[in-house]
Amino acid sequence: MATLPTYNTKQIEKSYDIAREMYSAFHVDTDDVLKKLETIPVSLHCWQGDDVGGFEHTESSSSGGIQATGNYPGKARNADELRQDIDKALSLIPGKHRINLHAIYAETQGKKVERDALTPEHFSCWVDWAKEKGLGVDFNPTCFAHPLADSGFTLSHSDRSIREFWIRHCIICREIGAYFGKTLEKTCVTNIWIPDGYKDLPVDRFGPRQRLKESLDEIFAKPIDEQWNKDSIESKLFGIGSECYVVGSHEFYLGYAVQKQKILCLDMGHFHPTEGVADKLSSVLLYVPEVLLHISRGVRWDSDHVVIVNDDVSALMDEIARGNLFARVHIGLDFFDASINRISAWVTGTRAVLRALLKSLLEPTPLLKGLENTGDFTSRLALLEEIKNLPWSAVWDYYCLKKDVPIGINWLHEVKKYEQAVLAQRKG
């Protein structure tokens, strides 16, 4: 590898001082912004670490239409390795964050435990670890990669007994969510996503949606203390194998979330390519209590590429920061790339979200709103464009310095060292 740059602490502090002055000319206090940034957690999805595999070793071929492509060596083969990898990633990301688990990451000591028979005990190692690290945990039922999902239908299946299996699984997951919340004293968000849909033209569009609604009603009928577990539902436009019809569409879940006051999960890869999730927040938050974001990067389709600071992510963070929506918007990640070092994927993606967030928090919003309110759209656009040049990267470097994580690309050295020392030893 060509030599990467190194960073000098004095230089970073000097640059920060200059940046602070430049921002104060726009009435932005960079110290306050950094205090705010450290309070905002990002939920790191465990499934980037093993290509959404889980530890069940199921006989099923149903991926639910989601697939990580690539075979970069060294993926985590068990929960200990996955935790070790997440630890490494977290050590390279500034701030205190959360972990997002799926039911297939249960630890059953080699025993086969059906998904409708899982208990909090199967997640006790995750909880012990999270407690030790001070992390909150979020959760997801896994309604794919299972023989009873092979038909492509789960909660909306026409067979009542199959629906009931998935209903039991989702109820159990809400209970496990509450266990995470209570034990860690940090509310867990449990998000339901199902793959249900038709590859080709459906004739009855109502039936599956009516069944999904009934299933959700049964799942949520079980009272669970919202102090510890909150319910979230995630829509999708289409998937591989569900190109013509997805039961849980945006309209379906938006309606459901409004009616039942549930958290609406908006995944950036789950809309028409020119539709932006940023634009939706100010509408849906008038009607639903909270939103969960699955920050992702779709390339031509819902491809779940690693997140970078692009226009979509920047616009989304602008929207949250401008409205100070942090109490009502949960920031989660959802991408999986098996073609590059998986720890680097987490670090690149999470640092990208935090960098975009910082950039947005540094925006002189009151100034811009003032221009907007007086109808000076000329100045609004000119200023929006000029502030892109403000030295937010100096503020970021300083934040990393203060949080004792590598500055700039230095984190990559750590990942490469870890790859040599740990990942390279994982064979088979």
Q: Is 334 in the site for ligand RNT (CB under 6 A)?
A: yes
323: how many CB neighbours lie within 10 A of its CB?
A: 14
**Rounded distance between C-alpha atoms, residue 292 and residue 187, angstroms:** 13
Structure tokens at 426: 């994982």
Q: Is 86 or 321 the residue whose CB approaches ligand RNT more closely?
A: 86
Structure tokens at 4: 């990467």
Angle at 313 between CA 312 and CA 314, to 5 degrees: 90
Q: Is 236 in the site for ligand RNT (CB under 6 A)?
A: yes
- Is residue 304 part of the annotated active site? The answer reads yes
> Which of ligand RNT, Zn ion, none does residue 105 bind to, with CB < 5 to 8 Å depending on kind?
none
Among residues 146, 230, 262, 270, which one is catalytic? 270
Among residues 334, 337, 414, 419, which one is catalytic? 334
Q: Is 66 in the site for ligand RNT (CB under 6 A)?
A: yes
115 phi and psi angles, rounded to 5 deg: -70, -20
Q: Is 74 or 248 the residue whose CB approaches Zn ion more closely?
A: 248
Q: Which of residues 151-210 bind Zn ion (CB under 5 A)?
A: none
Q: Is 191 or 360 the residue whose CB approaches ligand RNT more closely?
A: 191
Q: Is 294 in the site for ligand RNT (CB under 6 A)?
A: yes
Q: Is 267 in the site for ligand RNT (CB under 6 A)?
A: yes
Q: Is 334 in the site for Zn ion (CB under 5 A)?
A: yes
Q: Is 405 in the site for ligand RNT (CB under 6 A)?
A: no
Angle at 355 between CA 297 and CA 89, to 5 degrees: 75
Q: Is 52 or 247 the residue whose CB approaches ligand RNT more closely?
A: 52
Residue 394 CB burial class (10 angstroms; 0-12, 13-18, ≥19): buried
> Which of Zn ion, ligand RNT, none does residue 351 bind to, with CB < 5 to 8 Å depending on kind?
none
Helix (H) or strand (E) holding 37: helix 30-37
- Is residue 294 part of the annotated active site? The answer reads yes
Q: Is 294 in the site for Zn ion (CB under 5 A)?
A: yes
> Which of Zn ion, ligand RNT, none does residue 312 bind to, with CB < 5 to 8 Å depending on kind?
none
List Cα–Cα distances, 39 to 30, 31, 33, 113, in angstroms: 15, 13, 10, 38
233 phi and psi angles, rounded to 5 deg: -130, 140
Among residues 47, 129, 166, 193, which one is catalytic? 193
- Is residue 182 part of the annotated active site? The answer reads no
Q: Is 83 in the site for Zn ion (CB under 5 A)?
A: no
Which ranges in 303-391 belong to alpha helices (H)?
Answer: 311-322, 342-361, 365-373, 377-386
Q: Interface mask (CB under 5 A) for Zn ion, residues 237-276, using x and -?
A: ------------------------------x---------
- Is residue 193 part of the annotated active site? The answer reads yes
Please give the distance of CA 251 from its chain centroid, rounded to a whole number: 21
Strands 245-246 and 197-198, by their bridges, are antiparallel
Residue 84 CB burial class (10 angstroms; 0-12, 13-18, ≥19): middle
Q: Is 234 in the site for ligand RNT (CB under 6 A)?
A: yes
- Is residue 234 part of the annotated active site? The answer reads yes
Listed residue (248, 268, 412) closest to 344, CA to CA: 412
**Shortest CB 43 distance to ligand RNT, Å:** 12
Strands 98-102 and 136-140, by their bridges, are parallel
- Is residue 50 part of the annotated active site? The answer reads no
Q: Is 65 or 94 the residue whose CB approaches Zn ion more closely?
A: 65
In the set 16, 23, 47, 166, which binds ligand RNT (CB under 6 A)? 47
**Rounded distance between C-alpha atoms, residue 340 and residue 337, angstroms:** 7
Instruction: Determine the residue with CB nearest ligand RNT.
Output: 193
In the set 58, 140, 344, 348, which binds ligand RNT (CB under 6 A)? 140
Q: Is 277 or 362 the residue whose CB approaches Zn ion more closely?
A: 277
Angle at 395 between CA 393 and CA 399, to 5 degrees: 115
Q: Is 45 or 186 the residue whose CB approaches Zn ion more closely?
A: 45
State the catalytic residues: 193, 234, 236, 267, 270, 294, 302, 304, 334
Q: Which residues bind Zn ion (CB under 5 A)?
A: 267, 294, 334
Which residue ranges make up the site for ligand RNT (CB under 6 A)? 47, 52, 66, 140, 193, 234, 236, 267, 294, 334
